[in-house]
Structure 1
């Protein structure tokens, strides 16, 4: 039952984010940029559901996007308030890596009526 609940919350969240990202473009943002953000949020929501870490390296590996494209899209998602970022250790424990989480305000936001 808990797994089904997580799936439904993830699907609702992704639908909400799709409408938000498309409906409220950032200044000088292209349609292509918004599509990348939506795709990246789908990947991030999937990682969040299975409680996996979310880093640039993991997102690059999963999406096939360049590091630059992933950094640009995650920066836009942070600017929108959908992600929080924190500098931490990389997977090898020797260097640093940005770790992302879904913003708590986003997870606590009630679904719009009619959903």
Structure 2
């Protein structure tokens, strides 16, 4: 029972942290709509991360039903903010390169520090 509670608490902490970071710190030339899309994308990325799914453009297109360009438009500001890191890996066919993302470890470090101070 405790582990379920901890998982829920971690999810709520993550969501609250992301919401505050994005909404309270607008980037130059960024609209409220863009920030809201970023919050939603981070929520999807977190759920994928918890499910051990690869955070790739293709997987995001499949889940969100956005176009590749639509996904990229939301991902770019998150990379700029430092909330995501990006690496290039071989694509599913093993020939070309695919962009793979990871939620920045610093976010989880801040969440752990917050949990210890409570």
Compute the TM-score of the two structures, normalised by the length of structure 2: 0.86
Root-mean-square deviation (Å): 2.2
Change (3 A) 1:99 1:93: same
Tell me, in whole angstroms, the C-alpha distance in 1 between the residues paired with 2:94 and 2:52.
19
The 10-residue stretch of structure 1 (86-95 or 23-32) with the greater mean CA deviation from structure 2: 86-95
Which structure has more RCO (C-alpha within 8 Å, separation ≥ 6)?
1
Tell me, in whole angstroms, the C-alpha distance in 1 between the residues paired with 2:58 and 2:4.
26
Map of 1:111 onto structure 2:
114
1:64 counterpart = 2:65: yes
Which has the higher Rg, Structure 1 or Structure 2? 2
Tell me, in whole angstroms, the C-alpha distance in 2 between the residues paired with 1:73 and 1:113.
32
Gaps of at least 5 residues in structure 1 are none
Compute the TM-score of the two structures, normalised by the length of structure 1: 0.88
Tell me, in whole angstroms, the C-alpha distance in 2 between the residues paired with 1:53 and 1:4.
26
Asked if 2 retains the 8 angstrom alpha-carbon contact of 1:77 and 1:83, the reply is yes
Q: Which has the higher helix share?
A: 2
Gaps of at least 5 residues in structure 2 are none
